Amino acid sequence: MNKNVTHVLLIEDNPGDADLTRLRLVEANSDVEVKCVERLADGLACLAEKPTVVLLDLNLPDSRGAATYRSILDKAPGVPVVILSGQDDEALATKAVHHGAQDYLVKGSFDAKDLDRAMRYAVERQALWRALEMAQKQQLEFKNQFLSHVSHELRTPLTCIHQYITLLLDGLAGPVAPEQSDHLKTVLKSVNQLHAMIRDLLEATRADSGKLRVEPRCISMRDSIQQAVAMLRPTAEAKQIGLEIAVDQRLPLVHADPDRTLQVLINLLDNAIKFTPEAGSVVVRACMTDADADSVYVSVTDTGCGIDAEAKNLIFERLYQDPNVSDSSRSGLGLGLFISREIVRLHGGRMWVSSEPDNGSTFSFTLPVYSLAKLLAPVVIYENCMRPSFVLLRIDLAPLSNPPLGNWKETWQKCLEILRRCVYVDKDVVLPPMGNSGTCETFFVVAATDLQRSGIMTKRIREQMERTAEVSTKCTLTIAATAIDPIPQQGLSLEQQVEDLAGNVTQEIMASVERKPSVVRTEHRS
């Protein structure tokens, strides 16, 4: 394309309006090249040619109203768009500008100068917006790098201080007088507080840069809540605050990262205890609702000072701290709720708060229910029928030494990534790991094949795994295959067949976990 020529993409289905717009363009600028299409689909295809500006009619044969300009903006957010609006569409055109279009003109009411000015301003505004966006992105990246660097640099001296204070308190450097011990405990408490602040800074930086990761597993929400409550109970008892659990007995398993889930629970419980006066109470609840069968609802309710309406709108913002709260209740940077909400969002859930001043607060969040049937459905159904046979593969990883060499979590995560690359995405599914991670890891794969052919998959997995240093030098690999009982198809809907298959897979997994290792660890070699 000649850079001196203005390339205009005109998306207009009315021949009269299209001809008039072309005439105005030629009158205003001789160095203009106009390409006119009548349908949105054709216009979206032409965006690949990177026009200088798009002139867009909102009502086209294959799209009408708001969906029209949203499609253009989604396809090419960097191309300036000027709306050509009818008299009756002016309100919609204004709305389009608010959502990213650069300007609008009312058909039949603009001359060549108006059109030329609107296009020039649209190009200039778009360039300015892009420059501002780039500057903000660079500024955010610099800030994140700075915070990350400073946080990492602070951790080393703080760790050293922590170790030496602990050494003194344990009497390993000689006897310590009671008064000195009290002073050292005060210092240790401050060091731990600084450690927590630095950890939150690093987490917030990862969240801003999109590097905050979750590793979902199939876990029990009840176990996570009990673990969090056990960790915070001494803090609650020190303030004579009652700490209770109310969990629905029928609560299903959830698909969530156990460490991140515990982090969210601890943060909410710690805040609840912190802002609840002595002799108050904190209750953790978990339940299902009829309105949303795909999520588990978790809430932490306290009898504390509550939150006013203005603070509720800002409570999840980064670095926000309620100015009405006493300084004695503050011990962090105001990042905990921001990080917690990001963790929940990464799981596909949401977090919110309900509260009134002097009447306590309830922080709630949702996590997705673990549904094996939903995971299996895309791969076990082919041409509207169930596939004929299925095999359950069990892959066991065990460290060669105790404790494991290196970072065991990184080792099994690397193996899991390799495993996911070894399966056929349209015929096999790697199930989320079960429970909390431990010194050994077990992964399960449901494969749409039979036992005879499963040896090919087993060989492929073994070869890929053993090529990596994580497996060959740090752990042992064992693979076992078990046929899944076929599902009768007569008289059952596809949905029921998938549910029955999920039930059979679950039973086999539970039986596999309970079997003795000598039975389970049957290897397939080729």
Share of the chain above pLDDT 70, in %: 92
Is residue 284 domain-shared with residue 185, that is, in the same domain? no
* pLDDT score recorded for residue 223: 92
**Residue 485 C-beta-side C-alpha neighbours within 13 Å:** 13
Instruction: Report pLDDT for 213.
Output: 84
| Cis amide leading into 403 (omega within 30) | yes
Q: For residue 102, what are its two tokens? A: 């650069």
At 300, is the pLDDT very low, low, confident or very high (cuts 50, 70, 90)?
Answer: very high
Residue 389 lies in a domain: yes
CATH number at residue 278: 3.30.565.10
- What are the C-alpha distances in Å from 473 to residues 409, 443, 470? 15, 20, 6
Residue 120 lies in a domain: no
Tokens 């602070």 locate to 154
Task: Write the CB contacts of 216 (distance below 8 Å, at least 6 apart in sequence).
Answer: 255, 256, 257, 347, 432
Q: What is the pLDDT of residue 141?
A: 72
**What span, in angstroms and rounded, lies between the C-alpha atoms of 319 and 337?**
9
Residue 357: which domain range? 217-368
Question: Which residues does residue 352 pair with via DSSP β-bridges, in sequence order?
Answer: 364
User: Residue 139 burial by CB count (10 A; 0-12/13-18/19+): exposed, middle or buried?
Assistant: exposed
Q: Per residue in 321-373, pLDDT tens?
A: 766 555 455 555 678 898 899 999 999 999 999 998 888 999 999 999 999 99
**Res 332: pLDDT:** 58
- Residue 128 within a domain: no
231 shares a domain with 165: no
Query: Is residue 115 a part of any domain in this protein?
Result: no
Residues 150 and 106 placed together within one structural domain of the fold: no
- Amino acid, res. 50: K
pLDDT confidence band for 238 (50 / 70 / 90): very high
- Can you state the percent helix, strand and coil of the chain, rounding each to 5? 50, 20, 30
Residue 443 — very low, low, confident or very high, per pLDDT cuts 50/70/90?
Answer: very high
Q: Give residue 1's Cα distance to chain centre.
A: 41
Give strand pairing partners of 391. 447, 483
> Using alpha carbons only, what angle is made at residue 426 by residues 424 and 431, rounded to the nearest 5 degrees?
70
pTM, entire model:
0.65
- CA torsion sign for 414, 419, 422, 427 is negative
> Are residues 348 and 384 located together in one domain of the fold?
no
> Mean pLDDT over residues 285-306, rounded?
93
Contacts of residue 237, defined as CB under 8 A and 6 or more positions apart, other chains included, come to 243
- pLDDT score of 525: 33
Lowest-confidence region among 37-51, 69-83, 272-286: 69-83
In 3D space, the residue among 146, 148, 151, 145 whose CA is nearest the CA of residue 195 turns out to be 151
Q: Which residues contact 463 (CB under 8 A, 6 or more apart)?
A: none
State both tokens at 433: 């790991």
Decide if pLDDT at 93 tops 80.
Answer: no
On whether both 410 and 504 belong to a single domain, the answer is yes
- CA quadruple 409, 414, 420, 421: dihedral, nearest 10: 180
Evaluate whether residue 129 is within a structural domain: no
Where a domain ends, among 368, 387, 413?
A: 368
- What residues are paired with 330 via a beta bridge? none
Q: For residue 470, what are its two tokens? A: 């994580």
Instruction: Name, in order, each residue with C-beta under 8 angstroms of 167's C-beta and a sequence gap of 6 or more.
Output: 173
Statement to judge: residues 348 and 238 lie in one domain: yes
Q: Could you say which of 208, 238, 256 is where a domain stops?
A: 208
Mean pLDDT of the chain: 84
Give the model's pLDDT for residue 265. Answer: 96
Question: What's 336-364 look like in SS3?
Answer: HHHHHHHHHHHCCCCEEEEECCCCCEEEE
Asked if 296 and 367 count as a contact pair (C-beta separation under 8 A), the reply is yes
Q: What CATH number does residue 74 fall under?
A: 3.40.50.2300
pLDDT digits (tens, 9 = 90+) for 452-506: 889 999 999 999 888 887 777 888 889 999 999 877 777 888 889 999 999 899 8
**Contact in structure between 349 and 273 (CB atoms under 8 Å):** no
Q: Which residue has the tokens 């409550």?
A: 229
The answer to which of 225-239, 274-288, 366-380, 398-412 has the lowest mean pLDDT is 398-412
Give the model's confidence band at 144: pLDDT under 50 very low, under 70 low, under 90 confident, else very high.
low
Residue 415 lies in a domain: yes
pLDDT at 195: 77
- What's the number of domains the chain is made of? 4
In a shared domain, residues 423 and 324: no
The residue among 368, 398, 428 that closes a domain is 368
- Dihedral sign, CA of 327, 330, 331, 334? negative
477 domain residue, yes or no: yes
Residue 30 located in a structural domain = yes
Rounded to 10 deg, the angle between the 336-346 and 258-274 helix axes is 150
- Continuous segment of H or E residues that includes residue 372: helix 372-380
Element at 376 (helix H, strand E): helix 372-380
Q: What is residue 97's predicted lDDT score, i.e. its pLDDT?
A: 73
Same domain, 172 and 36: no
Identify any residues that bridge with 297 across adjacent strands, giving them in sequence order: 287, 366
pLDDT at 519 over 50: no
**Would you place residue 112 in the very low, low, confident or very high pLDDT band (cuts 50, 70, 90)?**
confident
- Mean local confidence (pLDDT), 207-214: 77
> Is the CB of residue 105 less than 8 Å from the CB of residue 115?
yes
> The domain spanning residue 414 has which CATH number?
3.30.70.60
Q: What angle do CA 42, 44, 47 make, to 5 degrees?
A: 110
Are residues 222 and 308 both part of a single domain? yes
Residue 105: what are its φ and ψ, rounded to 5°? -130, 145
Is the same domain home to 341 and 225? yes
Q: What are phi and psi of 199, to 5 degrees?
A: -60, -45
> For residue range 176-197, what is the model confidence (pLDDT) as tens digits?
888 898 888 888 888 877 877 7
For residues 364 and 380, membership in a common domain is answered with no
Mean pLDDT of 136-159: 74
Q: For 379-404, how does the pLDDT look when each residue is reduced to its tens digit (9 = 90+)?
A: 888 888 888 899 999 999 888 888 88
Higher pLDDT, 454 or 145: 454
**DSSP 8-state assignment for residue 87:** G
Q: Are residues 182 and 250 in the same domain?
A: no
